Structure 1
Amino acid sequence: MSLYIGLMSGTSMDGVDAALVEFSDQKISVIRSSTTPYPDRLRAQLREAIAPGARLSLHEIGTFDVSIGRAFAKAAEAILEQTETQATQVVAIGSHGQTLRHSAESDPPYSIQVGDPATIAYRTSITTVADFRSIDIASGGQGAPLVPAFHDAWFRVAGKDIVIVNIGGIANITVLPAKPSDSIAGFDTGPGNCLLDDWISHIRQLSCDQDGLWAASGNVCAGLLGRLMEDKHILRTPPKSTGREYFNLTFLGGILKQTGNLNLKPEDVQATLLEYTVTSIAHGIRQTGISAKKVYVCGGGAQNGVLMNRLRASLPGSSVASTAERNIEPSAVEAVAFAWLARQRLNLTPVPVTTGRHTLSRILGTVSVPTI
């Protein structure tokens, strides 16, 4: 039996998800998961840092790295306290960090995550594994998503085609084929909650559209949706990855202007954005050529009832449910995944990575050991 902590903050940038996970033989048990919100000022600074055209100084990048590292350490300490677990009982922490910029298509490609692992290791006295993306990008991969390997370990069932949909700020899918010998696949389908959150924040000064109720009060604009679905990322053949540096209010404003919809009712824009998330996910699943009988949804989008109902309607041949059906809360999946990835790294076990043209196995992550 061994304990690991996974830490994750995704493109929604609302806080740090933490999970305390027990591994024994072939069994994985989630002891507890929780979220530690970012302080309001830090969250606002992060949103400013990823805005189109943002230019950070070296001082600002360094400050973010340590500040986010401290926030991640606080989330780890919180879950230790909640479970009355001693740091000495935990083998390692797996930390994804907070993405500031993901540019897998540039030359050279890069992906920047802040959240200094040395700070986490020192403050918690726990060995910390981080920087999971760099070796994948250096060897020609997209660097994200990396969680499909964990989905394979937790959700795969022989004889059944399964798709995992993670709806965070950005949405991504994992395809788990029925035949155990077939390779898994995974990629970013497009926006998840990011445009929905940005639009309601811009119009109504709210952080999110609770349960999709504002979107449900509007009507989908077919012309706007059609233009959104013509975007180059949506049409690109997988593998592919993206982020908030692409799907943001500047992106949306440009398309509203192109389509003559600048005066569209705000709730109709929201309704169309929700349909965009759903339609681009369904399109991504069709791109794989798989006919999944089961679709499991995780991430914040799993809590949006209107979005979930629209996803079910868009995938009539599939049974769509949250990952809670498989005994893991939707908000905890990615944190648990990074606990698992940390264990694989310390055991020097390669994991299947789906971010390149072919699924390859790689050892991911770098290790920071606390001062003794």
Structure 2
Amino acid sequence: MTAIYIGVMTGTSMDGVDLVAASFEPLHLHATLTVPFDPDLRDELMALTLPDDNEIDRMGKADVALATMIGHGINQLIDQNKLDRSQIKAIGSHGQTIRHRPEYGFTLQIGDPHLITEITQIPVISDFRRRDMAAGGQGAPLVPAFHQAMFLHDQIHRVILNLGGIANVSLLPAGQPNAVYGFDTGPANILMDAWCERYTGQPYDENGNWAAYGTPIRSLLDRLQAHEFFAKEPPKSTGREDFNLEWLDEQILDWRSDLEYDELEDTPENIQATLMKLTTRAIKKAIYRSGLDTGEVYVCGGGAYNSHLLDQLRWRLRKHNWSVQSTEVLGLAPTWVEATAFAWLAKCFVEHQAGNLAAVTGAAGPRILGSMTIV
């Protein structure tokens, strides 16, 4: 009987909960579903990513609300697709990150696994990141181990680029599983989405059309790139704590007070174009510094559907003839890569296999990630 694992992912962009039912060896997706957030819950989760009043009570309520949403979403996934519950070994639930502070050895994801188990009557593997942190790691990114297992090629260098709220790269040298590494490169959609929503009322910049209308502002770009994260060497990870709309507003305010400020450049679309260049330049730097001469870049996450962003990446990587395309070409649609990764991590836990790559996170060695909530 084929073992099925359910993966649950809600990322930094908080645009919904992605659910997949997957089996492995070979990889096969039996069912997929995205459950959109209730706007009030999304607003509360967004607010909880930064310090504020009465955090513990508010976090507790959001923890229950999110778990209830996930649990009923999983039941919907199973029932709509007539999945055999006896085949489902476990649920891998990442939860919603509301604070990630690797410098303190601390990360927090909410979405109560006990409640998810109670609603679904299926064991839940959760809290994947803290075991890696306990071993001295960043707790992120965790997906490179999955990328290695699924996408490593014997003869072609590959980069798997995840463009969620934060951008991260998995660098897969051809035929060298022990040389795989990866890290967060900086913001992807997190700033562009927030800026777009403020000035256009749309939750994201469809196809990057608004950014394409603008022109990047060099002086502002230089200021944004002065953030200490960009100068750090891997292993490194980041999140909404470092890159958020409040931080961006502060940088723009400082830029406007600078002697080199040119008010003719100061338009919302030019700032959007600058944010896109901030993202693509950091990705280019990561790939060119990898030591890989040329190869294939496969993009997943919501940013994979931003055609202007992908065109900008192709242009920036043209020097070494890197191709840039969606993970759809590899048989896994960009939307489902991360949720599938957490289904795979649940499988690793059940089979007592390590789920991290120490070279990626900086942990002392391989670790079995997560904790199980049994039925």
State the TM-score, normalizing by the size of structure 1.
Answer: 0.94
The answer to whether the 8 Å contact 2:97/2:108 transfers is yes
Matched ranges for 1:148-167 at <5 A: 148-167=144-163
Which residue of structure 2 aligns with residue 267 of structure 1? 269
The answer to whether the 8 Å contact 1:184/1:359 transfers is no
User: Which of residues 75, 85, 99 in structure 1 aligns to 2:73?
Assistant: 75
Which residue of structure 2 aligns with residue 41 of structure 1? 40
Structure 1 vs Structure 2: percent identity of aligned residues? 39
Which residue of structure 1 aligns with residue 192 of structure 2? 196
Partner secondary structure for residue 215 of structure 1: helix
User: Which of residues 318, 327, 331 in structure 2 aligns to 1:323?
Assistant: 327
> Hey, what's the Cα distance between the residues in 2 that align with 1:115 and 1:355?
26
Which residue of structure 1 aligns with residue 352 of structure 2? 348
Structure with bigger helix share is 2
Q: Does 1:238 align with 2:242?
A: no
> Hey, what's the Cα distance between the residues in 1 that align with 2:364 and 2:213?
42
**Code of the aligned partner of 1:339:** A
Q: Does 1:62 align with 2:60?
A: yes
Structure 2 residue runs without a partner (length 5+): none
The answer to whether the 8 Å contact 1:185/1:359 transfers is no
Partner secondary structure for residue 272 of structure 2: helix
> Cα RMSD between the aligned structures?
1.6
Structure 1 residues 291 and 46, CA gap change in structure 2 (3 angstroms)? same
Q: Deviations over 1:286-325 (max 9, x none)?
A: 3323234100000000011111111111111201110000
> Hey, what's the Cα distance between the residues in 2 that align with 1:206 and 1:356?
35
> Hey, what's the Cα distance between the residues in 2 that align with 1:180 and 1:219?
40
1:358, distance to aligned residue in structure 2 (A): 6.6
Between 94-103 and 230-239, report the one with greater CA deviation: 230-239
Structure 1 residues 46 and 251, CA gap change in structure 2 (3 angstroms)? same
Partner secondary structure for residue 362 of structure 1: coil
The answer to whether the 8 Å contact 2:9/2:18 transfers is yes
Which residue of structure 2 aligns with residue 30 of structure 1? 29
State the TM-score, normalizing by the size of structure 2.
Answer: 0.93
> Hey, what's the Cα distance between the residues in 2 that align with 1:6 and 1:192?
23
> Hey, what's the Cα distance between the residues in 2 that align with 1:266 and 1:96?
34
1:222, distance to aligned residue in structure 2 (A): 1.4
Matched ranges for 1:1-372 at <5 A: 1-23=2-24, 26-51=25-50, 53-106=51-104, 109-260=105-256, 264-316=266-318, 317-353=321-357, 354-357=359-362, 360-370=365-375
Between 230-239 and 2-11, report the one with greater CA deviation: 230-239
Between 64-73 and 118-127, report the one with greater CA deviation: 64-73
Partner secondary structure for residue 6 of structure 1: strand
**Code of the aligned partner of 2:289:** Q
1:259, distance to aligned residue in structure 2 (A): 2.2
1:189, distance to aligned residue in structure 2 (A): 0.3
Partner secondary structure for residue 163 of structure 1: strand
> Hey, what's the Cα distance between the residues in 1 that align with 2:61 and 2:368?
29
Structure 1 residues 359 and 299, CA gap change in structure 2 (3 angstroms)? farther
The answer to whether the 8 Å contact 2:136/2:363 transfers is no
> Hey, what's the Cα distance between the residues in 2 that align with 1:130 and 1:14?
20
1:254, distance to aligned residue in structure 2 (A): 1.9
Structure 1 residues 262 and 210, CA gap change in structure 2 (3 angstroms)? farther
> Hey, what's the Cα distance between the residues in 1 that align with 2:143 and 2:364?
13
Partner secondary structure for residue 190 of structure 1: strand
1:340, distance to aligned residue in structure 2 (A): 0.5
The answer to whether the 8 Å contact 1:149/1:351 transfers is yes
> Hey, what's the Cα distance between the residues in 2 that align with 1:270 and 1:126?
44
**Code of the aligned partner of 1:320:** V
Q: Deviations over 1:43-81 (max 9, x none)?
A: 111122224x42443221211211111121122122212
Between 53-62 and 139-148, report the one with greater CA deviation: 53-62
